[in-house]
Amino acid sequence: MSTLTWVLLGVVVYWTALLALRNRGALPGYVGTQGPIITLHTKRGRAVLDRLSRPKRFWRAFSNVGVGIALVVMMLSFVFVLFAAISALYASEQTAVTEPRNVVVIPGVNDFLPLSVAPEIVFGLLVALVVHEGAHGLLCRVEGIEIDSMGIALLAIVPIGAFVEPDQESQRRADRGGKTRMFAAGVTANMVVMIVAFGLLFGPVTGAIAVAPGAAVGGTFPGSPAAEAGIDAGDRITAIDGEPIDDEAALESAVAEGDATATVTVDGEREVTVERSAFVVGAAEDGPAGLSTSDTIVAVDGEPVTTESEFRSAISEEGVVTVETDDGQEHTFPAGALSTVSEDGAASETGMPTGEQVVITAIDGERVVDSSALTAALQETEPGQTVEVEAYVDGEPATYTVELGEHPEGDHGAIGIQVQPGVTGVVVNDFGIQPYPANAFLSMLGGGEGGTSTFISAIGVALLLPIASVTGFATFNFAGFTGYVTNFYVVEGALAPLGGGVFLLANLLFWTGWINLNLAFFNCIPAFPLDGGHILRTSTEAIVSRLPFEASYELTKTVTISVGVTMLVGLLVMIFGQGLLV
C-alpha cells in the first residue's frame, strides 16, 4: 500500500480509539475533540502575556506594520488565486504542485516534503503555530481583550494548529483598530521569525558549509554505463583515469576527451570501470527519430560510434542519417533541432506549418546538428535580420526565408519556434549521470559563489527550492542537507567542531523560515476563518462606515462573503479543476 493509504488507515484507527475514550469519559478535562483532532487547552501563560504586553505602544506599532503587510499580501493572494484558477481550467495536464496529496503539509505524503526531514518540518511547524497564536494572545492583552484559554491542536501526534480563545464579549467591546491589530499580529510574528531564521541560515550557517571536491551524482539513468558500473545517487566522482575531478565542469571536460573505457574514482577511495556507449537518456515521444529512452546507438551510417562526441561527429555532415541500435534496429531520420512552429511567430509567416514539428538542419548554410547548435547560431543574429532556414517537414527538405523577430529572453533574433533538446529530440549521454547542482543550491542559500544579490531575492529563491524541479530552477528538488546530499558538502570554519550538526541546524532554520513564511501567506488569504478574512471584515467596516448610507452591515457582509466564496472556489479549482475547459 502507498504511504497515503497507511496514513489514512492510521488516522481511522486513531479516531476510533479517541471516540472510545471520549464515550467512556476517560479523557482529561483539558482535552477536547473535534473529529480526529484533539485540542489541548490551558489557562496558564496568561500572566506571562500580561507582563509581555506592558509596552503597549510598541506592540501596537509592531502590529500596525503587520496590518500593512497583511493588506498587501491579501490583495496579491486574491489576484494570484484568481489567475492560478483560470490557468488551471485551461491547463492540459495537472502539475505536481497542485495534486491533492501535495497540498497537505505531511512529510512522506507530500512529494516535496520527504520523511528524511520530518523532524525538522514538525519543529518548524510547531514554532510557527506557537508564535502565530502567541502573538494573537499578546495583542489580546494589549487591546484589553480577555483570554478564555490557549492551546494546541493535534492530529494524532502531529501538531496541525494552535489557538487562542478570546472572550467573545470582551472582543466585541474592543475597538475596530484593536481587533484588526490583534488579527494581524500572528502574520507579523511569523514574518519576524522567518527573517531571523533565514538571516541566520544565509549568514553564519551556510557560510560554514562548502562544496566537497568532485562531481556530485544526483542519480544515474537505468541501464546506462554509469549505472552498470555501480555508480549511484550520492556518489562523488573525484577522478577519471587518475586525473582529479574538482567539479561538474571538470567531469564534462574529462568525459569529452576520454576513451571508450574509463577508470572512475568514487568518493576518493573506490574505483570502478565504466564502458562508455552512446546511450539514449531522453527521446521525444512519437518523434521522427523513432528512438526510445534506454536505446544504445552503435553506428551512424555504418560507422561505429561509442561516445557522445563520436556520435555528434558522425551526424555533422549529412542532414539525413541512418542510426543502428544495439538490438539491430535501423532508424533513418533528419538530424537537427526538432522544433514546433509557434502561432504568430516569424516562422509561421513564411509558410512553416503552424503547430507541427519540423527539423531544422541549417541556418544560412551553417550546419545545425541539435538544439544547442541552433541556439548558438541564433545568438549571433539580430532582430529584423533575414536568414535562410533549411528544415525537414514531414521528412521532405524545404528552405524558408525568415525575418527574425525579437527573442523574449535576449537581444538576439528569434525564429518563432519551440525547440526540444538533443538531436531531433534525442538526448545522448555516454556516461548516464545526472549531476546534482550542489554548488548552485548552496549559492541560493547564501553560501558558495554566485548567490542571489539581495536578502529578499534569497528568501524568494528559498521558498521555491523544495519544488525546484517544477519551477525549472534545477532537475532536483532541495529539501535540506539530508540523506546522500550531505556527501556533497563539508563543514569548515568556526562551526567545524559541530561537524554534521551544522547540517541539522541548517535544516531546522530552512524549514522554520519556509513554514513561517508560507503560514503567514496562507493566513492572509481573505476568507474566514483565516486572519485575512477577519482583517477583510474590519477593514471593510472601516470603509463602509464612512459612506453616506445606513446599510453598512449588509454591504460589509456582502463584500466579505463574496470575496471569501471567490477565494474558496478559486482554491478548489486550482486543486481539482485542472483542464476542465480544455
- Residue 135 CA to residue 133 CA, distance in Å, equals 5
Residues 10 and 105 in one domain: no
- In the sheet with 31-34, reading across from the earlier edge strand, the strands are 31-34, 37-42, 147-155, 158-166
Residues 78 and 194 in one domain: yes
Which residues touch 325 (CB under 8 Å, ≥6 apart)?
A: 291, 295, 296, 297, 298, 331
The answer to whether position 351 is within a domain reads yes
Residue-level pLDDT at 213 = 93
Residues 386 and 411 in one domain: yes
pLDDT single digits (tens) 355-399: 888 999 999 989 999 999 999 999 889 989 999 999 999 889 999
The answer to whether position 339 is within a domain reads yes
Residues 51 and 194 in one domain: yes
Residue-level pLDDT at 164 = 75
Task: Assess contact for 354 and 341: CB atoms under 8 A.
Answer: yes
Residues 94 and 191 in one domain: yes
Return the residue matching grid coordinates 500500500.
1
Give me the residues of the chain with pLDDT under 70, please: 1-4, 7-8, 11, 29-30, 33-37, 43, 45, 92-98, 100-104, 155-162, 447-453, 549-551, 582
Residue-level pLDDT at 165 = 75
Residue ranges in 91-218 assigned as alpha helix (H): 118-142, 168-173, 176-200, 206-207
The answer to whether position 572 is within a domain reads yes
Residue-level pLDDT at 159 = 64
The answer to whether position 373 is within a domain reads yes
Chosen domain end from 374, 393, 425: 425
Return the residue matching grid coordinates 549568514.
203
Domain coverage including residue 351: 334-425
Residue-level pLDDT at 93 = 66
The pairs formed by 114-122 with CB atoms below 8 angstroms and a separation of 24 or more are: 114/479, 114/482, 114/483, 116/479, 116/482, 116/483, 117/479, 117/480, 117/482, 117/507, 117/511, 120/480, 120/504, 120/507, 120/508, 120/510, 120/511, 120/512, 121/511, 121/515, 122/158, 122/159
Residue-level pLDDT at 178 = 86
Residue-level pLDDT at 155 = 67
The answer to whether position 503 is within a domain reads no
- Residue 184 CA to residue 527 CA, distance in Å, equals 14
For 260, the 3-state DSSP assignment is coil
Residues 147 and 60 in one domain: yes
- Residue 204 CA to residue 210 CA, distance in Å, equals 12
The answer to whether position 467 is within a domain reads no
- Residue 13 CA to residue 210 CA, distance in Å, equals 46
The helix or strand, by DSSP H or E, that contains position 304, with its residue range, turns out to be strand 303-304
Residues 69 and 109 in one domain: yes
Return the sign of the alpha-carbon dihedral for residues 384, 385, 388, 392. negative
**201: nearest Cα among 451, 571, 546:** 451
CATH of the domain at 417: 2.30.42.10
Chosen domain end from 425, 458, 485: 425
- Residue 268 CA to residue 236 CA, distance in Å, equals 8
Chosen domain end from 399, 425, 451: 425
Residues 3 and 64 in one domain: no
Residue-level pLDDT at 35 = 61
- Residue 307 CA to residue 432 CA, distance in Å, equals 11
Return the sign of the alpha-carbon dihedral for residues 513, 519, 525, 531. negative
- Residue 51 CA to residue 322 CA, distance in Å, equals 82
Residues 14 and 52 in one domain: no
Number of compact structural domains in the chain: 3
User: Strand 303-304 to strand 296-300: parallel, antiparallel, or no bridges (unpaired)?
Assistant: antiparallel
The answer to whether position 382 is within a domain reads yes
Residues 24 and 61 in one domain: no
The answer to whether position 281 is within a domain reads no
Residue-level pLDDT at 582 = 63
Q: Give the distance from CA 329 to its chain's centroid.
A: 40
Please count the residues of the chain.
582
Task: Provide the whole-model pTM.
Answer: 0.81
Residue 547: CB atoms within 10 Å? 10
Residues 67 and 131 in one domain: yes
Residues 127 and 8 in one domain: no
